[in-house]
Amino acid sequence: MKTNSKRIKKEQLFIEEKLNEIPLDKLSKQSKFCKRKARKIGPAEFLKSFFLMTHSSGKISYKNWASKIGLLIGDTVSKQALWKRMNPEQIKFLQKVLSAAINIKEKINKQTSERLKFFKNIFIEDSTCIKISDKLSKEYPGNGYWDKAARKAIIKIQSLYNITKKSFERFEITSFRENDQGYSEKILEVAKEGDLLIRDLGYFVLRVFKKLNEQGVYFISRMKKGLIILSRDEEKPIDLAKMLSKRGKLDIEVILGEKQRLPVRLIAIPVEEAIASERRRKAKTNRDKRCNPSKEHLFLLGWELFITNVPPENLSIQDIAEIYFIRWRIEIIFKCWKSYFKITEIPKDANKIRMESYIYCMLIFIILFQVSFYNYCWNRFSITSSKVKTRGLSMMQVMQYVTNNINFLVLGFSSMCIDWDKLLEKQISYYCLYESRNDRTNYYQTIKN
């Protein structure tokens, strides 16, 4: 019994270990969230109880949250005491904790593909939107394009994920009306020479691509329609549709834009006819009259169009197509947020402070579990488990496991005589692997090959 107790204490517990890496008491004093030593609601208990509350069967409420704090401290806490902590100082505290959590250094997986080792860091940038209570439409106005009278409130979370380090570099909560193009230039604060940036069309700004190119930052992006394309040698306009009608695919050097004159590789890869037909159907039925598609545009929907400044000797046309697939990693991350982490389940009566508190707590939870716990399992069990090493860990499956077993992961197995490591390895190896499929390549296979 003595041995088991020591083992449990040693492993107590992944979430405890990660929170111990963050100077919570120091940050709470800096932000004035806790001006003196807390009698009941300490910073660690505040966060852990939130994790328990959001993934319990009860309502997301002050009462449920307070009961979880009581469970952790072995006492009772009133919902009024918790309500009093909903103030600007608490938001500052959570922002500091989120920043510290992002900066926790994770071990980098040494099995990264040889093709990707050419780059120092590989960044994926994307955003996701969350509908919130219409009472907050003044602070976070939504999309009034279809209904000018609608008081819709939406927040946008901008995310920058580092594939190489398997960690987030940045989060920022913005208004829905602060579009991705306006946000595009902020990447220059992070990306350095030798890094690779993978972006979707929302961030497409030629001026920013030109600055990235001048600073030695590599990029891969889908190409925006309607751009002037010039030949690299003669600098004469290219009729892309006409050129593609004569060729099956393209990998040519061009200049984009009359003003910016950005030198890039333009890559065109045909898509399956079923995909092309569906794209054309959606384009024709788009309700936005500004998007009335031309014949040329409908024709080009039959191709994936990419631009990049990575030389052909470093990445082939097939490499570009496969690596762009990595961008879907952040789509999976966002799907985990909404499917398992309940980031969209903000109480409808929440005011601005409570809403921001909820979002920041969820982002801290995501950093500690979606990123750190996934990396912990991979780094630990890819060595000891042949199944994990061969098939790879599915982030979706790991996150589903986390949310289904949150009490054990936060509170531990303190009442059970059990070998935590062996049980976790056995369950992760059984429940959380990618399925073996021959009809498509998953993320792990793409990175591994």
For the stretch 17-20, contacts whose Cβ atoms lie closer than 8 Å and that sit 24 or more positions apart, written own/partner, are 18/101, 18/104, 18/368, 18/372, 19/44, 19/47, 19/48, 19/368
In this predicted model, which residue has the larger pLDDT, 196 or 72? 196
Buried b (16+ CB within 10 A) or exposed e, 43-60: bbbbbbbbbbbbbeeeeb
Tokens encoding 272: 């399956």
Helix-then-strand count for the chain, H and E: 21, 9
Question: Token match 């602070």: residue?
Answer: 139
Strand-pairing partners, residue 437, are: none
Check residue 33 and report its DSSP letter.
S
Question: Token match 């979002």: residue?
Answer: 359
DSSP, collapsed to helix, strand or coil, labels residue 435 as coil
Q: What is the mean pLDDT of residues 428-439?
A: 74
In this predicted model, which residue has the larger pLDDT, 145 or 304? 304
Looking at residue 129, its amino acid is: C
pLDDT score at 213: 96
pLDDT score at 1: 35
For 29, 53, 179, 217, 382, the CA distances from 160, given in Å and listed in that order, are: 29, 27, 15, 15, 26
For 106, 325, 404, the CA distances from 204, given in Å and listed in that order, are: 30, 18, 39
pLDDT band at 264 (very low <50, low <70, confident <90, very high): very high
In this predicted model, which residue has the larger pLDDT, 66 or 347? 66
pLDDT band at 8 (very low <50, low <70, confident <90, very high): very low
pLDDT digits (tens, 9 = 90+) for 154-212: 888 898 888 887 778 888 888 888 889 989 999 999 999 999 999 888 899 999 999 99
For 284, 285, 295, the CA distances from 289, given in Å and listed in that order, are: 10, 10, 16
For 104, 182, 269, 394, 423, the CA distances from 108, given in Å and listed in that order, are: 12, 32, 32, 17, 25
Kindly report the average pLDDT of the chain as a whole number.
81
Tokens encoding 354: 């409570």
pLDDT at 284 exceeding the cut of 70: yes
pLDDT score at 89: 92
Tokens encoding 15: 């979430």
CB contact at 8 A, 53 and 341: no
DSSP conformation letters of 167-211:
EEEEEEEEETTS-HHHHGGGGGGT--TT-EEEE-GGG--HHHHHH
% residues pLDDT > 90 (the chain):
20
pLDDT score at 245: 85
pLDDT band at 414 (very low <50, low <70, confident <90, very high): very low
pLDDT score at 146: 45
pLDDT band at 142 (very low <50, low <70, confident <90, very high): confident
